[in-house]
Amino acid sequence: MNETVLKNCLKGWTSPFPDNRKNSSRLYEEFKVRINGLVIKYGRVPFNGLKMKDGTPWPGNNTNNHPGMIQILFGRGGVYDNDCEKFPRLVYISREKRPDFKHNKNAGSMNALVRVSALLTNGAYILNLDCNQYINNSRALIEAMCFMMDPITLKKVCYIQFPHRFDGIDANDRYVNHNTVFYNMNLKGLDGIQGPLCFGTGCIFSRKALYGYDPPSKLKHYRKNRWGSQIKSSNDTHSYYSSTLVLDEDSSSLLVMERGYLETEFPSVSLSLEMCFGQSPIFLASILVGDDRFSQSTTHEEILREAIQVISCDYEENTGWGREVIRITTYSTLKYDFLNKKDLKVLLSKRATTRILFLTIICFIYLQITSEASIWLILLLLSVFANIVLEIRWNEVGIENWWRNRQFWVTAGISSHLFAVLQGSCGAVLRLFICSRSRTKSCAEGSEVKISKVRWTSLLILPITITLVNLIAMAVGISYALGGAYASWTLQFIKLLFTFLVIIHLYPFLKGVTSQRHQIPTILVVWSLLLAFLFSLLWINVNPFTTHFHGPSKKDCGIQC
């Protein structure tokens, strides 16, 4: 922070606050120096890979081919800090990866985390964060527990999604890094339709929801009316029952889990659980109880052995993991994959949460707008404008944030979203799956330079082509207007207005492209220029704004035409 701004901020404060702030700043700088020192000392991986204390190579040197690894940093023995407060358990987990197995990226990591954490602590809630994310609110977890442990909504809340914002990149938020409109406006509109989307990161999950427990259903209370017949009572707001089989906490026989005991006493339950969750008896026992009481008669060696088993590559085969278990239907990704088709898969899935009515929209190009048609057009534009004003006022979103979101929406709509719809449609209708590859995320990609860097791809051909076509159209229109070739200035003004609107919507995209114009691949330039030239020639030949006369030629009818 600037020194002048800091002095102005501290004006009027009494002595304790500036002193405490200076102490906090000093402690933060010391902590930063220590962390940077550790990064310099241990951040560089040796050429031959990392080695363990006994000199053997670390199994995780090859990130795509290594066995499952578990390292317990803080266990049950208890580690205390300087204030004699006990540290929570801290365990490092790396699931098994083999070249011949599909590890499913973040989803596979989440599956492994759920299984291992069930064996070690069996906590009721799971927090999912990426390696490059920060929690800027120290009370975030407490605020999430207010929703999770609310007695009214306790059995209905599946997850708590925190806003995912990128700060410190662009002061004007030109590339919608704060996602203000998305979180404050779009997700509010989903309230009542099973809540907001889940982005897979920055989210607190309920373990029961990840296990595939059915949501509670309302009990139907009936009362008799004055004629003696039964009618449904309306006073059943907070009465629920669970439609999933759950054993009660008094089943103390399950607390002493011996080998084969579950199969002997509860064969039907054991078979259904194995088909869904796998064949780990200790893991199945952790599902039936709500805490870690199942491990009282189990040694640490047995738990670690089972933990290594549940993170192996072949554990999920022929089970319900990814289908019945950890299947959040309202799932989306936010700025993770440039080409994202998951929303379309959810829409076409049989598990879609709402019945979607497909509306057929037919667009007409009016060659001549009559007075009656212009009235309906004006009413339509006024209704759209009123809807925008209502959303902005209701969600307290600034005009600038809304406009940045519109610009980003147009850019994505003619690039990634369009190709995602085509890819998802081909997969759903023609069973033709197009291979897409996502970039591996690194923890060191938090700097402004790397985030703002343009990564060239063939998806940018269409936005560049549309920009070139509109620039050519604007130049030709202005030259014709200056030459007096147009008799109707109103039509010419409307053409230039719509062309200008397209260009200013694509302005952030143009700025990003022109900032690195020396690095544009030749293939993008060639294809964009070729398509722009073809579309321009096609538009000149079609020319829909010109009234074409069909009749006899002057040569046939002479002076009578």
CA distance 93 to 554: 86
Give me Rg for the CA atoms of the chain: 31
Nearest to 283 by CA among 252, 248, 312: 312
Region of 74 (left: φ > 0; alpha: ψ -120 to 50; beta: rest) is beta
Start-to-end Cα distance in the chain:
80
Question: β-pairing, 230-232 with 222-224?
Answer: antiparallel
The answer to whether 185 and 398 are in contact (CB under 8 A) is no
Residue tagged 């003619």 (tokens):
414
Provide the residue type at 21 as one letter: R
CA distance 389 to 476: 35
The answer to whether 107 and 322 are in contact (CB under 8 A) is yes
Phi, psi values for residue 451, rounded to 5° = -70, -40
- 3-class SS at 8? helix
Question: β-pairing, 90-94 with 69-74?
Answer: antiparallel
Residue tagged 């278990």 (tokens):
325
CA distance 3 to 8: 9
Instruction: Find all residues with CB under 8 Å of 382, minimum gap 6, and list them.
Output: none
Sheet order of strands, 125-128 included? 125-128, 203-206, 159-161
Provide the residue type at 408 as one letter: F
Instruction: Find all residues with CB under 8 Å of 468, minimum gap 6, and list them.
Output: 528, 529, 532
Nearest to 203 by CA among 176, 163, 149: 163
Provide the residue type at 94 as one letter: S
Q: Per DSSP, what are the bridge partners of residue 321?
A: 325
Instruction: Find all residues with CB under 8 Å of 352, minimum gap 6, and list them.
Output: 329, 346
CA distance 397 to 372: 36
CA distance 250 to 288: 11
Q: How far is CA 118 from CA 18, 125, 177, 376, 429, in A?
A: 46, 10, 35, 61, 39
**Cα dihedral angle (22, 23, 26, 31), rounded to 10 degrees?**
-140
218 is in an annotated binding site: no
CA distance 347 to 351: 8
The answer to whether 16 and 23 are in contact (CB under 8 A) is no
Two structure tokens written together for 491: 């039509």
Instruction: Point out the annotated binding site for UDP-alpha-D-glucose.
Output: 105
Instruction: Point out the annotated binding site.
Output: 105
